[in-house]
Each structure stands twice: as C-alpha cells, then as structure tokens.
Amino acid sequence: SQQGEEDPQALSIQEGENATMNCSYKTSINNLQWYRQNSGRGLVHLILIRSNEREKHSGRLRVTLDTSKKSSSLLITASRAADTASYFCATVPLSGNTGKLIFGQGTTLQVKP
C-alpha cells in the first residue's frame, strides 16, 4: 500500500525563488529518499536521509526529516527552469530489510524563466 503523501500536488514559481515540497508517511522507516522525474523519463535519485538524521544538504537541495511527525521536506533554493520536474519522496520501511521503496504521489514543480 502506498505510504507517502506529498503536498502540494503542484507548485509553480519564478526562477530564483525557493521551492518547498512536503512528504508525510505512515510507518517507521529506515530511510527516506527523494527522486526527480523529468517529463516522460525515468527517476533520478537526489538525496537520501537516514532515520537518525534530521537535516541533509546537497548543493541547492536541503532535506529535513522529522520522525516524530513522520514527515520530510525538500527545499530547492534559487530554482532554475531546469528544475522543472516531478519530485517524489520514497520511504524504505524499517521492517523487512528488502530495500523496497514506497513512493508518494509526487509534487509537480514548474519553474518559470
């Protein structure tokens, strides 16, 4: 069953602005990952945050994780038109150790030049 829910479903901003996407999940996790998908393409892994981490940075990306609220956020700073894509959070459940990803519904981001 699907575990992650994301909001907003769609986000439209101007180039240079920051974009924030949120993800909530239901069960205990080993880690949470964010992926990007350009239109009609496969997914690309962006960043992984472990359950014992609270914040992680990678270039213009900042991810936070609050396990008490079972939520995560992805912040893209100084957005560019090339950031236009769908962004998915995906959780790895704590049980099972299969590494299986449970994807959220995704946020579609449009960055206007």
Which segments within 39-84 are labelled E, that is strand? 43-50, 55-58, 61-66, 71-76
Q: State the nearest-atom distance from the C-beta of 42 to other proteins, in Å.
A: 3
Kindly tell me which residue out of 33, 72, 79, 91 binds other proteins, with binding defined by CB under 8 A.
33
Count CB atoms within 10 A of the CB of residue 45. 10
10 Å CB burial of residue 6 (0-12, 13-18, 19+) is: buried
State which of positions 69-108 bind other proteins (CB under 8 A).
88, 92, 97-101, 103-106, 108
Q: Give contact residues for other proteins (rule: CB under 8 A).
A: 2, 4, 30-31, 33, 35, 40-45, 48, 50, 88, 92, 97-101, 103-106, 108
